Chain A
Amino acid sequence: MNEQPLLRLVGVTKVFGEGASLVHVLDNVDLEVTGGIVTAIMGPSGAGKTTLLTIAGGLQRPTSGHVEVMGERIEGLPQGALATLRRTRIGFVFQSANLLEALSARENVEYMVDLAGDRRGLGKERATELLRMVGLEKRMDARPKQLSGGEQQRVCVARALANRARLILADEPTANLDSQRAAEIMGLLRSLSRDMDCGILLVTHDVRAREQADRAFWLEDGHLSPR
Chain B
Amino acid sequence: MAARGRFAFTVAGVVVATLLLSFVLGLYRGWSERLTTYVDETDTDLWVVQKGVESFFSPSVVQARYVENIRAIDGVEASSGLSAIPMLRLRSGEDAYDVYLMGFDPAETGAAGGGLGGPLRIVRGSGAPKPGEIVIDQILARITGVDIGDSLTVSYLNFQVVGISSGGNLGVTLLCFVARSEVTRLLGDYPVVSHILVRTAPGRESEVATAIRAVSPILEVFPRSEFADSTQRVLRRSILPILSVVVVLVFIVGAIVVGLTMYTTTIEKQREFGVLKALGTPGQRLVSIVLQQSVICCLVGFAIGQLGLLATVWLTQQVVPQFVTLIKPGDLVTVFVLVTVMGMAGSWLPVQRVVRVDPLVVFKA
A and B assemble together: yes
From B278, B283, B363, contact of A86 by CB (8 A): B278
Whether A112 lies near B282 (C-beta < 8 A) is no
Whether a CB of chain B sits under 8 angstroms from the CB of A47 is no
Q: Would you give the shortest CB distance from A22 to chain B, in whole angstroms?
A: 20
Cβ contact within 8 Å between A115 and B365? no
Determine whether the beta carbon of B365 is less than 8 Å from that of A98: no
A54–B279 CB distance below 8 A: no
Whether B281 sits at the interface, judged by CB under 8 Å, is: yes
> Given the complex of chains A and B, what is the CA–CA distance between A159 and B277 in angstroms?
14
C-alpha spacing A164/B281, complex, angstroms: 16
Give Cα A159–Cα B281 distance, bound, in whole angstroms.
Answer: 14
Contacts of A94 in B (CB 8 A): 275, 278, 362-363
Give a binary string over A92-133; 1 marks a CB under 8 Å from any B CB, 0 the rest. 101110101100000000001001000000000000000000
Interface size class on chain A is 20 to 34
Interface flag for B360 (CB, 8 Å): yes
Which of B272, B278, B282, B283 is A59 in contact with, Cβ under 8 Å? B278
Which of A80, A83, A86, A175 is most buried by chain B, counting CB atoms within 10 A of its CB? A83
Inter-chain contact B272/A101, CB cutoff 8 Å: yes
The reply to whether B281 and A59 form a contact with Cβ atoms under 8 Å apart is no
Q: Is B91 an interface residue (CB 8 A)?
A: no
A59: B residues at CB distance < 8 A: 278, 359-360
**Chain A proximity of B111: nearest CB distance (Å):** 69
Contact at A96–B365, with CB atoms within 8 Å? yes
B275 pairs with A83, CB closer than 8 A: no
Interface flags for B24-38 (1: CB within 8 Å of A; 0: not) read 000000000000000
Interface 1/0s, chain A 162-189, versus B by CB < 8 A? Answer: 0000000001100110000000000000
Closest CB of chain B to A169's CB: distance in Å?
Answer: 10
B271 interfacial by beta-carbon distance below 8 Å: yes
Any A CB within 8 A of the CB of B188: no
| Docked pose: A175 CA to B365 CA in angstroms | 9
Contact partners of B277 in chain A: CB under 8 A? 83
Residue A37 at the B interface, CB < 8 A? no
Residue of B272, B281, B362, B363 touching A87 (CB-CB under 8 A) = B281
CB-nearest residue of chain B relative to A95?
Answer: B365
Q: Which chain B residue has the least Cβ–Cβ distance from A116? A: B280
Residues of the B chain whose Cβ atoms lie less than 8 Å from the Cβ of A212: none
Contact B281 A115 (CB under 8 A): yes
Residues of B within 8 A of A (CB-CB), count: 17
Task: Verify B362–A98 contact, CB threshold 8 A.
Answer: yes
Q: Which residue of B lies closest to A89 (CB)?
A: B280
- Write out the residue numbers on chain B whose beta carbons fall within 8 Å of the beta carbon of A95: 363, 365
Kindly state the separation between the CA atoms of A50 and B361 in the bound complex, as whole angstroms. Answer: 12
- The answer to whether A83 and B281 touch across the interface, beta carbons within 8 angstroms, is yes
Known contacts A95-B365, A100-B275; decide if A115 and B280 are in contact (CB<8 Å).
Answer: yes
Name the one of A79, A83, A88, A171 contacting B363, with C-beta atoms under 8 angstroms: A171
Determine the chain B residues whose CB is within 8 A of the CB of A60 once the complex forms.
360
Asked if A147 is at the interface (CB within 8 A of a chain B CB), the reply is no
Minimal Cβ-Cβ distance residue in A for B282 = A83
> A84, A96, A171, A175: which contacts B280 (Cβ < 8 A)?
A84
CB-based contact A115/B363 at 8 Å: no
Q: How far is B359's CA from A54's CA once the two chains are assembled, in angstroms?
A: 10
Give Cα distance in the complex from A92 to B274, angstroms: 13
Asked whether B272 lies within 8 Å of A100 as measured between CB atoms, the reply is yes
Smallest Cβ-Cβ distance to B285: which chain A residue: A115
Of all chain B residues, the one with the shortest Cβ separation from A176 is B365
Contact B363 A50 (CB under 8 A): yes
Given the interface pairs A95-B365, A175-B365, the reply to whether A86 lies near B279 with Cβ below 8 Å is: yes
Report B243-295 residues with CB < 8 Å from chain A CB.
271-272, 275-283, 285
Instruction: Write the nearest CB–CB distance from B281 to chain A, whole angstroms.
Output: 6
Q: B residues within 8 A CB of A53?
A: 363
Q: Which of B276, B279, B283, B360 has the most CB of A within 10 A?
A: B279
B275 contact set on A, CB distance < 8 A = 94, 98, 100
Question: Which residues of chain A are near B359, meaning CB under 8 Å?
Answer: 59
* Residues in B neighbouring A80, C-beta threshold 8 A: 282-283
If A98-B271, A100-B272, A100-B275 touch, does A54 touch B280 (CB 8 Å cutoff)? no
Distance in angstroms from A62 CB to nearest chain B CB is: 14
Contacts of A54 in B (CB 8 A): 360, 363
Query: Which residues does chain B contribute within 8 Å of A90, judged by CB atoms?
Result: 280
B68-92 vs A, CB cutoff 8 Å, 1 = contact: the mask equals 0000000000000000000000000
Q: Which residues on B sit within 8 Å (CB–CB) of A50?
A: 363
**Chain B contacts for A176, CB-based, 8 A:** 365
Residues of A within 8 A of B278 (CB): 57, 59, 86, 92, 94, 98
Q: Rank and list the top 9 A-B pairs by shortest CB-CB distance, nearest first.
A: A87-B280, A86-B280, A98-B275, A83-B280, A50-B363, A98-B362, A59-B359, A95-B365, A94-B362
Q: A83-B280, A98-B275, A98-B362 given; name 8 further pairs at CB < 8 Å.
A: A57-B278, A80-B282, A84-B282, A86-B278, A87-B280, A96-B365, A100-B275, A115-B279
B interface residue numbers (CB < 8 A to A): 271-272, 275-283, 285, 359-360, 362-363, 365
Instruction: Give 13 A-B contacts (CB < 8 Å), ordered by A residue.
Output: A59-B278, A80-B283, A83-B280, A83-B282, A86-B278, A86-B280, A87-B281, A90-B280, A94-B362, A96-B365, A100-B272, A115-B281, A172-B365
